[in-house]
Amino acid sequence: MSPQSNCSATEPGLQIVADISSGELVGEGIQRVTRAIKDMKGIFRDEKSRQSLSQDAVVYRVQAVYPVGEGEEGGLFWGTTFIEPGMVGDEYFMTKGHFHANRHRGEYYMTVTGRGALILMDENRRTTFEPMHPGSLHYIRANTAHRVANIGESVLAFWACWPSDAGHDYDSIASLGFSARLRKVNGIATLVEEP
Ligand code: 6PG
Ligand code: NI
């Protein structure tokens, strides 16, 4: 096909550009959420360490586009999560983590920049993790809780694509947690079973 083939967009699409080097979404209608240290009560093992940190320090932020309403069937959402480098005790800065409220909904993640770990827990509470590095693609199965930790020294950014009727169940994680935590042991990110 000629590079000058007669092809022009007739319908305005999303009008959003995802910067492939930073992951940043640029355009109209982007929703933003920021989670600071003060929003992460009960997430990390070492609550005293969390309290000793600057409460306004940003742990992660999310940019997302919702072309259809949340909860509507049949749509897809797209978002970037940026996790700062940092530690709370021996745990890396990480997302809260969730199951999808509609348990029969999966998701894709793709790492844009940085180094991380995708922590997954299945319905039998078996926890595993997948290393994240630029370009790594991760398929999160239905019925699987997911959380991401930044194990590197720079910002970790990853893209996510999830169904519009997935929703988020944070309460199960708030009450029972994951069955294992990713902790820095002798300088190495290690999954340690909870007692
Ligand atoms: C989703 C995605 C993803 C996630 C963020 C923040 O289902 O929306 O998994 O966008 O929400 O990475 O993580 P938490 O939702 O666990 O805070
Ligand atoms: Ni999700």
Strand order in the sheet with 156-163: 31-36, 58-65, 76-83, 156-163, 107-113, 137-140
Does ligand 1 come within 6 angstroms of the Cβ of 165? no
Is 158 within a domain?
yes
pLDDT of residue 88: 98
- Cα(101) to centroid(ligand 1), Å: 12
- Is 64 part of a structural domain of the chain? yes
Nearest CA residue ID for atom 4, ligand 1: 81
Q: Which domain holds residue 82?
A: 6-193
Report the pLDDT value the prediction gives residue 10, as an integer from 0 to 100. Answer: 66
Res 161 pLDDT > 80? yes
Residue 4: predicted pLDDT: 53
Q: Which ligand is nearest to the CA of 32?
A: 1
Residue 179 falls within a domain, yes or no? yes
> Of the ligands numbered here, which is closest to the C-alpha atom of 94?
1
Mean local confidence (pLDDT), 10-31 = 92
Q: Is 145 exposed, middle or buried (0-12, 13-18, 19+ CB in 10 A)?
A: buried
What is the pTM assigned to this prediction?
Answer: 0.95
* 83-121 per-position pLDDT tens digit: 999 999 999 999 999 999 999 999 999 999 999 999 999
| Residue bearing the bigger pLDDT, 7 or 51 | 51
Q: Is 63 exposed, middle or buried (0-12, 13-18, 19+ CB in 10 A)?
A: buried
Higher pLDDT, 162 or 9: 162
Mean pLDDT of 149-163: 98
Domain membership of residue 1 (yes or no) is no
C-alpha of 85 from chain center: 14
Inform me whether the pLDDT recorded for 61 exceeds 90. Answer: yes
When divided into structural domains, the chain yields a total of 1
| pLDDT higher than threshold 70 for residue 1 | no
Inform me whether the pLDDT recorded for 2 exceeds 70. no
Rg of the chain taking only CA atoms, in angstroms: 18
- What pLDDT does 12 receive? 73
Q: What is the mean pLDDT of residues 144-161?
A: 98
CATH number at residue 103: 2.60.120.10
Evaluate whether residue 69 is within a structural domain: yes
- Residue 55, amino acid: Q
**Partners of 190 in the beta sheet?**
183
